[in-house]
Amino acid sequence: MPKAKITKEEALAFHLEPTPGKWEVQATVPMTTQRDLSLAYSPGVAVPCEAIAENPETAYDYTNKGNLVAVISNGTAVLGLGNLGALGSKPVMEGKSVLFKRFADVNSIDIELDTEDPDEFCRAVRLMGPTFGGINLEDIKAPECFIIEQRLKEEMDIPVFHDDQHGTAVICAAGLINALHLSDKKIEDVKIVLNGAGAAGIACIELLKAMGARHENCVVCDTKGVIYQGRTEGMNQWKSAHAVQTELRTLEEAMEGADVFLGVSVKGAVTQDMVASMADNPVIFAMANPDPEITPEEAHEVRVDAIVATGRSDYPNQVNNVLGFPYLFRGALDIHARAINDEMKIACAHALAKLAREDVPDEVAVAYGKSLTFGRDYIIPTPFDPRLIHRIPPAVAKAGMDTGAARRPIIDMEAYELSLKTRMDPTASILRGLSARARQAQARMIFAEGDDPRVLRAAVTYQRSGFGRALVVGRQDDVKAKLEAAGLGDAVREIEVVNAANTSHLETYKDFLYKRLQRTGHDQKDIHRLAARDRHVFSALMLAHGHGDGLVTGATRKSAHVLDRINDVFDADAAHGAAGITALIHKGRIVLIGDTLVHEWPSAEDLATIAERAADVARHMGLEPRVAFVSFSTFGYPISERAEKMHRAPRVLEQRGVDFEFEGEMTVDVALNSRAQEAYPFSRLSGPANILIVPARHSASISVKLMQEMGGANVVGPILTGVGKPIQICSTVSTANDILNMAVLAASDIGG
């Protein structure tokens, strides 16, 4: 499978559009009326101010302190880029902030301090302490990072955590627990060699010693060789703490007979000869980024019994910090912790290790396109495992409570786990799963409107993201000029431009089309004009003949016109059971609405078919369908001839014996609001509906566009289903990202 390619232009555009940066601030309380403002500010705000002044602990109740973490750096060690300065580090810190939100629903603000003086840095952070529930230090060079973290931990009463040190250490420890389990070895017995005595390396070896590794069994190396007792060159107090009594002087000598190698150093630091000299069933964590000390392929060439982990996502066993820091802070914040101590970190490592030994949920296997089972190539959970959010924080919280780090212990742990399960936005994991399926499918995607810059950007991104081959319908010169204007001139050689002039299949297409349309008033000239000059028809003909695997169109013409053209080639009409389903994504919920494309005024039987099509789409997206037939009446009241078909449609589904939940007719609030549903205990819905079947296409269109413009919902669709081939029709206001999402849906065969 091809690796994703990211260009400078794409990276800059991602950070520039739709607004500069990666996050914004939103109010969580109403701010519309004068009364709202009086409560939010003066005079109402005085009440919680006085309460907090009297009892500081109530700040966790009346402010956002309890779910707010600062990501702080001075930019002296940014990724692998070195000292870029405070401002140069801001894109990374913004990125870390959104990872906190994405993976653990922790609000986070990035702060860049323009100083390399540890005293100034510590003073600035300490003075901001009342604002935050925790401090995540990031990208600060060693040895200053040790000094800064230690001082702040002593001076502050909230968790201070340097992720470059301890995040790597926790994930490394989790992987090592399982690697030793598979090797039938104990941590107190194994010989461990660490190469790289910087922030991450020192933290790794310290945590492993806290877990039982023996000091005399741990050999630490840096660029000058083994750190041994008596060495003076290139030493500091943190290295000296791990000096051992030994005659070993080089990494090569240290590796002989070693059970475990931990690398946080540089590419190529480990040779195949070194790996060959290790003990039976060696464990090799080559964590240098972006290129490991030795690749898994190189290691396995000489040692088939080796268990290998790296920091890269394209190899098994990725040591990824995102498995640790969001959940460590989630657990720490939820007990109002004073610190994140060793016991909490060890609890996190053991919880991660335990999770990897359990059966992997189907949705994870689907998302990654392969079966994952505990073994040598799966010793660390994947970052997108949905169980992480409700399995890791409780373990961290419990350890914090047991060690006295908690200000407010959790009384009902079972209820806490349940709250974590419902806390996360499910849409991110659903969309991630669709992307993974699309990448696995490697579909040849036809982009019909190659004269539009948005479509071209989407096509280039589709191919560079590793989803498959992009086939762009357009004129070569025009495509080239528009790509160059968009700063993507180098992509001209990558994507394939297709048109009637350069295809060898035009006569075949025309013969096919003539047989379909000859009795509908089309003569040979009409057929030539349609096949050779109408990009929608030409693209549909490509798809019909297997010259592409999916089709995305509609960005430049109204959907009704595009659907008419598609019907020249496919039976994409109501009579043949086609339907258009649109997904609304809003505040962590996905609701499908149908029919938004095909049926003008569907009958009860048509509505039942639309419901079945929508249920298929929902299941393809990883949702368990719950269908509501919606109207202005609920279960027959008020009585109206207009609502009659909505009343009859569920009976049609009953007769068809479908295998999903459905109910109707009902108003939208009853369909979506669990409290409103309580008034109807006889309802067959077990919870809020995720599919709304509306009376007609006009009501579907109004509903979708109203939610998009007034509610701020993200719209995906309409998804054309029931045609037998993956065809997705965008709206004319689609962005390049919207078009890309439709291509991903087509590649995933949603609705195909």
Q: Are 497 and 476 in contact (CB under 8 A)?
A: yes
Q: How far apart are alpha carbons 94 and 138 in whole angstroms?
A: 11
96, 185, 345, 725: which is the annotated catalytic residue? 96
β-pairing, 283-286 vs 160-162, is unpaired
- As a whole number of angstroms, the longest Cα–Cα distance in the chain is 96
510's tokens: 């025309």
Q: Which of 41, 186, 421, 515 is catalytic?
A: 41
Classified as helix, coil or strand, 394 is helix
Task: Quickly list DSSP for 589-609.
Answer: EEEEEE-SSS-SS--HHHHHH
Q: How far is CA 406 from the centre of its chain?
A: 31
- Beta strands (DSSP E) in 6-114 are 68-73, 107-112
Three-state DSSP class for residue 626 = strand
The residue type found at 34 is Q
Q: What are phi and psi of 239, to 5 degrees?
A: -70, -45
- Classify 441 as helix, strand or coil: helix
Would you say 505 and 547 are in contact if contact means Cβ atoms under 8 Å apart? yes
Whether the CB-CB separation of 283 and 250 falls below 8 Å is answered with no
SS (H, E, C) 298-361: HHHHHCCCCEEEECCCCCCCECCHHHCHHHHHHHHHHCCECCCCHHHHHHHHHHHHHHHHCCCC
Q: Ramachandran region of residue 75, left (φ > 0), alpha (ψ -120 to 50) or beta?
A: left
Strand order across the 160-162 sheet: 107-112, 68-73, 134-137, 160-162
Cα dihedral 438→439→442→446 (10° resolution): 50
* 41 catalytic residue (yes or no): yes
Q: Is the dihedral of CA 35, 41, 46, 50 positive or negative?
A: positive
What is the distance between the alpha carbons of residues 14 and 673, in angstroms, rounded to a whole number?
Answer: 36
Structure tokens at 216: 């005399």
Burial (Cβ within 10 Å: 0-12, 13-18, ≥19) of residue 587: exposed
Collapsing DSSP states into helix, strand and coil, what is residue 26? Answer: coil
Give the CA-trace dihedral at 152, 154, 157, 161, to 10 degrees.
50
Q: For the chain, what's the residue count? A: 752
CA of residue 184 relative to chain centroid, distance? 35
Quick check: 207 and 346 in contact, CB under 8 A? Answer: yes
Q: How far apart are CA 102 and CA 428, in angstroms?
A: 8
CA angle 442, 446, 449 (to 5 degrees): 145
Q: Where do we find the tokens 């610190």? A: 339
Q: What is the DSSP string of 131-175?
A: G-SEEEE-S--TTHHHHHHHHHHHH-SS-EEEHHHHHHHHHHHHH
* Of residues 745, 690, 737, the one with CA closest to residue 714: 737
* Cα dihedral sign, 101-107-112-117: negative
Q: With b meaning 16 or more CB within 10 Å and e meaning fewer, what string describes 48-69?
A: eeeebeeeeeebbeebebbbbb
End-to-end CA distance of the chain: 23
Is 354 an active-site residue?
Answer: no
Of residues 605, 511, 507, 517, the one with CA closest to residue 564 = 517
- Phi/psi of residue 477, each to 5°? -65, -40
Catalogue the active-site residues.
Answer: 41, 96
